[in-house]
């Protein structure tokens, strides 16, 4: 059955009704950008996002059915709003008197997690990347290492109110969510997933790889990252094992961190996306994935013999809609490769010292993939005797060993701060995390003493200044 689009239908009816708009917003439906006739507020019949009982609740129920969740809630404030609400709900499930709330989180978390800790005043225990290599964006966690760490904390009398993972990460790496969820369920700790980059995962041709389908208690999806949703449109999804499933509690948590004037343009795009997902999206997605898989094979075949490493990351852990390129194959930096692609009319999502990330969806025309193929094959023909860049894996190990939380995240974020050159930050306390977006992943977290490894990594990633607490 084709899902209804109640929000979009209501707005279009109202827009064409000729009703005198003696309410907000101030443009009164007059076109300046062109979208104003469809831009409404919470008038009679339009429902209310944080007390939804009408058209918004109906649309959210449609989304829950499509995504295969116990419940789904809309956000017009991006995944950041959903992350904060998700963490609050997990905290609310902890019995009173259990001491200071503690979250166990993989270190490659978006700064939204740090700001959530400041707002909600909880402590974070970090899961650090393991093995060789290393990237600010990735922090692989195995079920065995998670179990070891959780059991260690439990023996110390610390029961985290949740385990927090980012999957997929910015480079497209996907955690073993099913295995990690099984560990969390066995130890009665909810698994919370930042799935901002993976809204399309329920619709994969081989079956859903969405965190909720794999056992997560709650997760967020950014609809606008990979689906045809306006920027800021996101979902908070609850699984059957969500710690606080009551709708009034969930809407209250979302309201705490959301605007009282949510964008009805964004809500309409979330609403219309339901019909898009039900109208042949799986087939479109499968075709895009097949094209990208073939492109990876072509690029890596062309790189054989002239490059020290494959140019396109691939494998079962790799997110299917990201084309992640290793510029080391060309003996260059990711920023250099991004510039070369830009000269060819290709704008990437993200580039760092080694990696370039290109994000595809079924909405990219075939010409886009052809342009990428031609540009990269031409660059590969010029690759000769490339050398691998410095392995920064040890720097992350040093960062973990030097990690020293000297103030709470909340105290550091709210304290008076000053920006200083990275060279002068050694031994100072990090205030607001100093990161670019993308990837918005802190090297030093608020309240941590900035050590030599953090300074080295800041230099590596081109961070020139850092905000530190005033002494």
CB neighbour list of residue 385: distance below 8 Å, 6 or more residues apart = 331
The pLDDT tens digits along the chain (471 residues) read 789 999 999 999 999 999 999 999 999 999 999 999 999 999 999 999 999 999 999 999 999 999 999 999 999 999 999 999 999 999 999 987 778 899 999 999 999 999 999 999 999 999 988 654 567 888 999 999 999 999 999 999 999 999 999 999 999 999 999 999 999 999 999 999 999 999 999 999 999 999 999 999 999 999 999 999 999 999 999 999 999 999 999 999 999 999 999 999 999 999 999 999 999 999 999 999 999 999 999 999 999 878 888 999 999 999 999 999 999 889 888 999 999 999 999 999 999 888 999 999 999 999 999 999 999 999 998 876 556 666 667 778 888 899 899 999 999 999 999 999 999 999 999 998 877 667 888 999 999 999 999 998 898 888 899 999 998
Q: Which residue has the tokens 């097949």?
A: 290
- Locate the domains of the chain by residue range: 1-93+190-279, 282-381, 393-469
**CATH 3.40.50.300, applies to 1-93+190-279:** no
Domain 393-469 -> CATH class: alpha beta
CA 221 to chain centre: 7
Q: Is the pTM of this model over 0.85?
A: yes
Predicted pLDDT at 292: 97
Q: Is 381 left (phi over 0), alpha (psi -120 to 50) or beta?
A: alpha
CATH placement of domain 282-381: 3.90.1150.10
Instruction: Using CA atoms of 175, 179, 183, 184 in order, give the dihedral in degrees to the nearest 10.
Output: 50
State the Rg of the chain over Cα.
23
Predicted pLDDT at 380: 92
Q: How far is residue 173's CA from residue 134's CA, in Å, rounded to a whole number?
A: 12
Contact 221/195 with Cβ under 8 angstroms?
yes
Predicted pLDDT at 437: 64
For the chain, give the secondary structure using H, E and C: CCCCCHHHHHHHHHHCCCCCCCCCCCCCCCCCCCCHHHCCCCCCCCCCHHHCCCHHHHHHHHHHHHHCCCEEEEECCHHHHHHHHHHHHHHHCCCCCCCCCEEEEECCCCHHHHHHHHHHCCEEEEECCCCCCCCCCCCCCCHHHHHHHHHHHHHCCCCCCEEEEECCCCCCECCCHHHHHHHHHHCCCCEEEECCCCCCHHHCCCCCCCCCCCCCCEEEEEHHHHCCCCCCCEEEEECCCCCCCCHHHHHHHHHHCCCCCCCHHHHHHHHHHHHHHHCCHHHHHHHHHHHHHHHHHHHHHHHCCCCCCCCECCCCCECCCEEEEEHHHHCCCHHHHHHHHHHCCCCCCEECCCEEEEECCCCCCHHHHHHHHHHHHHHHHCCCCCCCCCCCHHHHHHHHHHCCECCCHHHHHHCCEEEEEHHHCCCCEECCCCCCCCCCCCCCCCCEECCHHHHHHHHHCCCCEEEEECC
Q: Is 253 left (phi over 0), alpha (psi -120 to 50) or beta?
A: alpha
Q: How far is residue 449's CA from residue 460's CA, in Å, rounded to a whole number?
A: 19
Predicted pLDDT at 180: 98
Contact 393/372 with Cβ under 8 angstroms?
no
Tokens of 73: 């809630």
Tokens of 344: 């060819």
As a whole-number percent, the residues of the chain with pLDDT over 70 amount to: 96
Pairing of strands 350-351, 465-469: unpaired
Tokens of 15: 């827009």
Phi, then psi, of 314 in degrees rounded to 5: -150, 165
Q: How far is residue 250's CA from residue 217's CA, in Å, rounded to a whole number?
A: 13
Biggest CA–CA distance in the chain, Å, is 70
Select from 189, 164, 186, 219 the least CA-distant residue to 98.
189
């Amino acid at each position: 059955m084709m899902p209804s689009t109640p929000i979009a239908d209501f707005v279009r009816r109202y827009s064409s009704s000729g009703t005198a708009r003696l309410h907000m917003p101030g443009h009164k439906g007059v076109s300046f950008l062109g979208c104003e006739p469809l831009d409404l507020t919470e008038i009679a019949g339009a429902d209310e996002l944080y007390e939804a009982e009408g058209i918004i609740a109906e649309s959210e129920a449609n989304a829950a059915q499509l995504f295969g969740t116990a419940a789904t809630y809309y956000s017009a404030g991006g995944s950041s709003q959903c992350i904060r609400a998700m963490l609050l709900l997990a905290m609310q499930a902890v019995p009173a008197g259990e001491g200071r709330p503690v979250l166990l989180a993989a270190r490659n978390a978006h700064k939204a997690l740090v700001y959530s800790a400041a707002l909600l005043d909880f402590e974070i225990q970090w899961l650090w990347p393991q093995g060789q290599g290393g990237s600010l964006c990735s922090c692989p966690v195995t079920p065995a290492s998670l179990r070891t760490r959780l059991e260690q904390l439990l023996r110390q009398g610390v029961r985290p109110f949740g385990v927090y993972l980012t999957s997929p990460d910015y480079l497209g790496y996907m955690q073993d969510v099913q295995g990690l969820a099984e560990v969390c369920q066995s130890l009665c700790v909810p698994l919370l997933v930042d799935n901002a980059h993976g809204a399309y995962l329920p619709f994969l041709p081989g079956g859903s790889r969405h965190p909720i389908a794999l056992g997560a208690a709650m997760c967020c999806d950014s609809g606008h990252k990979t689906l045809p949703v306006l920027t800021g449109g996101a979902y908070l999804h609850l699984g059957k094992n969500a710690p606080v499933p009551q709708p009034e509690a969930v809407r209250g948590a979302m309201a705490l961190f959301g605007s009282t004037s949510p964008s009805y343009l964004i809500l309409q795009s979330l609403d219309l996306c339901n019909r898009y997902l039900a109208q042949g999206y799986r087939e479109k997605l499968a075709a895009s994935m097949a094209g990208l898989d073939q492109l990876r094979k072509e690029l890596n075949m062309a790189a054989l013999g002239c490059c020290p490493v494959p140019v396109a990351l691939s494998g079962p852990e790799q997110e299917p809609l990201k084309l992640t390129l290793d510029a080391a194959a060309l003996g260059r930096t990711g920023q250099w490769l991004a510039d070369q692609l830009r000269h060819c009319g290709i704008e990437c999502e993200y580039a760092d010292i080694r990696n370039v990330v290109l994000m595809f969806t079924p909405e990219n025309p075939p010409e886009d993939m052809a342009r990428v193929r031609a540009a990269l094959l031409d660059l590969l023909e010029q690759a000769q005797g490339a050398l691998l860049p410095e392995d920064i894996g040890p720097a992350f190990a040093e960062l973990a060993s030097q990690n020293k939380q000297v103030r709470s995240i909340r105290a550091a974020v709210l304290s008076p701060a000053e920006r200083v050159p990275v060279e002068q930050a050694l031994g100072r306390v990090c205030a607001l995390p100093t990161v670019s977006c993308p990837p918005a992943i802190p090297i030093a977290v608020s309240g941590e003493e900035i050590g030599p490894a953090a300074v080295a990594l800041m230099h590596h990633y081109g961070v020139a200044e850092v905000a530190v607490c005033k002494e």
